[in-house]
Structure 1
Amino acid sequence: MINKDMTIREVLQKNPKTAEVLMKYGMHCLGCPSATGESVGQAAAVHGVDADKLVEDLNKLFED
């Protein structure tokens, strides 16, 4: 499961398809060293998105 404290790098390592969800939320710099070191919560704040909704959408990828 994904949570707000995980780094973007950790999320991408768990499932590369999470990149599609992150990009849908405007997070296009997924390869940037600073971006991948940010937590999901930090990245959501920077991009002005609801962190809880982002985490919910990321976790949907693991339901199947």
Structure 2
Amino acid sequence: MNSKWYGVYAMILGIVSFFTGEIVTFIMLSFILIALININTTLKMNFEKDNDQKEKDE
């Protein structure tokens, strides 16, 4: 998924959390989402590196 969609989802969740009064929950979930996106990006990069290395070895 494109990174601009993460911003759209974050804005929608931010608006909903503002009206429901769950600002602290939104902030904590935002930290978790950022961490998961970073982990996902790192794993994708490592996977692509491994595939490139295997193709060179063959």
| Structure possessing the higher radius of gyration over alpha carbons | 2
Same structural fold, with TM-score higher than 0.5 when normalized by the shorter chain: no
Q: TM-score range by the shorter chain?
A: 0.3 to 0.5
Q: Greater relative contact order: 1 or 2 (C-alpha under 8 angstroms, separation 6 or more)?
A: 1
Which one has the bigger helix percentage?
A: 2
Task: State the TM-score, normalized to the length of structure 1.
Answer: 0.34
Task: State the TM-score, normalized to the length of structure 2.
Answer: 0.36
